[in-house]
Amino acid sequence: MKFVYSGGYNKYNLKSIKQSILYRYQKPIINTAKQGKKIAIITLAKPDNYYSQTIAKLYKHKLIVIINSQNINKIGWSDFDVFLILGGDNLKLYNPLKKNEFSLNLLKSNVVLIGDSAGAFVLSSYFYDRDIDFENKYSSENIKFFKGFYPESQVITIAHTNNPRYVNQKLITKTKVFAKKKHLKVLKLNENEEKLLSKNGEFIDFDRKHIFD
């Protein structure tokens, strides 16, 4: 298995959008599908139509399946060679995956999982979730921690680290305190930044052209 963790993007910045995970992986994923491998794009963290226009434009191939609230109960997790897990609301992503028995133990041994923001969170040992205040900014006062799907990663991820709309020092400090208690590493990712989890447990840079080799 290969695990890629991505730090999300700034939805108010066109340059950041164009460098986001759907755009970055378009060519390598289409090429992988052309080789007969089956791709799942999980959009559960957002409303079903949120990513529809972008996906329809970039990902036209019969072996690419969009997983949303309408079809998740019909999905065979072991069918796929690649999972692209998109960001949004952490618990809206996590809860239906858990309800529908998503588990790394059910996946192919050589599967590639790419998680962006909330997608990276649920591929960690633990992840945090926060309330949103009246200005639609995330609050660091009411942070809760939840178990992710990959306890062996021994990591908790902070995405959007360079965007104060989502992350401030209080959130980072609380996450570090929790991580120390649970003996976890803290992976801090800026927007449009990504790291590969190596076999020795380090987070490293990589060539995305060869991630599906």
- Residues forming beta bridges with residue 112, ordered by sequence position: 2, 82
What is the CATH code for 2-210?
A: 3.40.50.880
Give the confidence band of 134 by pLDDT, cuts at 50, 70, 90.
very low
Mean of pLDDT values over 179-189: 98
- Give CA–CA dist 10/129, Å, rounded: 18
Q: Residue 121: its pLDDT value, please?
A: 99
Read off the pLDDT of each residue in 164-179 and give the average, rounded to a whole number.
93
Residue 84's closest CA among 119, 135, 47? 119
Residue 209: predicted pLDDT: 85
CA–CA separation, 51 vs 6, rounded Å? 17
| Structure-token pair, residue 91 | 């618990």
| 109-129 confidence digits (pLDDT tens) | 999 999 999 999 999 999 999
Which has the closest alpha carbon to 156: 166, 170, 168, 146?
146
Q: Is the pLDDT of residue 138 over 90?
A: no
pTM above 0.85, yes or no: yes
- Mean pLDDT highest for which of 38-47, 51-60, 126-135? 38-47
Mean pLDDT for 42-58 is 95
- 20, pLDDT greater than 50: yes
Cα angle 113, 72, 68 (rounded to 5 degrees) comes to: 75
Domain coordinates in residue numbering, the chain: 2-210
Full strand arrangement of the beta sheet holding 185-188: 138-147, 126-132, 155-158, 185-188
pLDDT tens readout for residues 53-101: 999 999 989 999 999 999 999 999 999 999 999 999 999 999 999 999 9
